[in-house]
Amino acid sequence: MQFSAAQIALLINARVEGDPSVSVGSFGKIEEAVSGQLAFLANQKYEEYLYSTGASIIIINEAQELKQPVAATLLRVPDAYTAFATLLAKYQEIVAQQLTGIQEPVYISKTATLGEHIFLGAFSYLGENVKLGNHVKIYPGVYLGDQVVVKDHSVLHPGVKIYHNCVIGSHVTIHAGTVIGSDGFGFAPQADGSFKKVPQIGNVEVGDYVEIGANSTIDRATIGSTLIKSGAKLDNLIQIAHNVEVGHNTVIAAQAGISGSTKLGNNVMIGGQAGLAGHIQVANGSKINAQAGLGKSLKVPNSSVTGSPAYNYSQAIRSQATARNLPEMEKRLKDLEEMVRQLLAEKV
C-alpha cells in the first residue's frame, strides 16, 4: 500500500513541509531508511541522520530547527513519537481489516455467538456459549473456554489460552502464548504437612484498551474477579496472581510478579523483575523501580521506591552515593584515629 505525504498528514494532523505528493509504502529507522520509506525523529541523538537519511518522508517535532537542507518531505507535529505511534496503529488497523473469515480446521461450539467481520485462524477452539464481538481477530491455535466473552475489535495472537468464564474487553490485544484464567496458587497447609488445593471459582476480567505481552499469566480469582482495568499495559513474561487488581493506565514491565490480592492504583509504573508481596495496596501514580521488592503498602500517591526491600527512591540514591564514598571515609577515619592516638601520647 502506498500513501502520500498529504494523506499521512491528514491521519496525524501534521503540517507538510516539502512535496505533498511524495509517497511511501513502508517504514524505516531514520538511520537506515531508503527511498519510499517513512521515518521519524523524536530523539535528538539521531538528529544527524535527518540530513543523510534516504527516507522520503520524515515525521519531526514542530519545534525542530533545521541546521541544513533536508531532502525528504517533512511532516511537522507537536510530538513526533506520539504521531508515529498513531500512524502505526492506523496502518495496523487497515491491515487487520483485510483479515476476515474462518480458516479450517477450527472447532466452534454450536452455542457460540460470533460477531460481524471476525477472523478465526486455523486450529482455534471456541467452547460452549463463547461470545465474540464485531471485528475480533482470533489467530491460529487460540483456545477459548466455555462462557468466555471477547468484545469488539480485540485481537488474540497465536497460542493464547483463555479459561472458562473470563471476560476480555474491547480493543484489547493479547500476545502469543499468554494464559488468562488459570488457577490461582491457593493451597491450605494440613496437619500432616501436605497441602489441600483451594478451588479457584472466580474469573479474570480485562477492561478496554488493555495490551498484554507474550507468555504472561493472569490467574483467576479464588472468589470474585482478578481485574485488569481499562488502559493497563502489561509487558511479556508477567505473573499476575489471583484476586489482584491492576488499576487504569497502569504499566508493568517484563518479568514482574504481583502476588495474590494486591491492589494497584491507577497510573502506577512497575519496572522489570520487580516483585510485590500479597495483600498490599499501591497508591495512584506510584513508581516501583526495576528489581525492587515491595513488601508493604505504598499509601502516599506518586511516591517512588527502589531496592529490596523497597524504600524511598531519593533516600536510596543518597544511600548509594554514601556507599560509594565508604573507602575514602574509612581512610579519613583511620587518619583521625591516628591523630587522636598521637595527641594522647603527647599528653602523657
CA quadruple 331, 334, 335, 341: dihedral, nearest 10: 180
Residue 317: is it exposed, middle or buried by C-beta count within 10 angstroms (0-12/13-18/19+)?
exposed
Active-site residue, 157 included: no
Question: What angle do the packed helices 326-347 and 313-324 form, to 10 degrees?
Answer: 60
Identity of the amino acid at 339: M
Identity of the amino acid at 309: P
Question: How is residue 335 written as a grid cell?
Answer: 587518619
In the set 153, 242, 248, 279, the catalytic residue is 242
Helix ranges (DSSP H) in the chain: 5-12, 80-97, 313-324, 326-347
DSSP-derived secondary structure letter, 242: T
C-alpha to C-alpha distance for 146 and 131, rounded to whole angstroms: 9
C-alpha to C-alpha distance for 318 and 42, rounded to whole angstroms: 32
The residues assigned a catalytic role are 242
